[in-house]
Amino acid sequence: MSDELKEEGLALFRRGMHDEALSKFEAAKRSYAEAGDTVGRGEVLNNIGVVQRVRQNWDAAAAALDEAIDLFAESGDENRQGQALGNLGDFYAFRGNPDEAARHYSDGAELLARSGDYERQAQLLRALSLLRLRQRRVVEALMLMEQSLDVRPRLNPLQRLLRLLIRFSSGLIGGRSADGQPS
């Protein structure tokens, strides 16, 4: 029942029906709590945090994401904890707090790397790169984007080209050759 409610909430969220999705997630949270399923409860709290962020209900978003992170830490689920930290990073980025956003993106990426989820790690490193680019910290943004591409399990042709361009640009800026080696 809990999983069905969660899936219904996800489907509603994807269709832009945020109020209805929130209602399903709240029901799933209660159901997971009654079943003693800490990870399931953490998953829907993570989803609630994202919905509340989209609705710009900032206090509720932060509270749900913080609780999800705590539940995942308590259960030892570094992958889900990393994902929730990434969502909290998005929260702080939307709220105009780039230092907190960067800290959460970085912490989340580290946990995702330890859990072997390199695709999601790459996504958080990309988000951190874009954050640094908005701050006009171009060199750091380039380094993070290159790191994001380096950890991806597979690169499409456009991503390979982007990595090559970043390495070339880095070589111009910092004295490295196109293959990333010091020149």
Q: Where are the domains of the chain?
A: 2-128
Q: Give CA angle at 51 (153, 15), nearest 5°.
A: 80
Q: What is the CATH number of domain 2-128?
A: 1.25.40.10
CB burial of residue 162 (10 Å; 0-12, 13-18, 19+): middle
Model pTM?
A: 0.85
pLDDT tens for each residue of 96-150:
999 999 999 999 999 999 999 999 999 999 999 999 999 999 889 988 998 999 9
Q: What is the pLDDT of residue 165?
A: 86
State the Cα–Cα distance between residues 92 and 70, nearest whole angstrom.
18
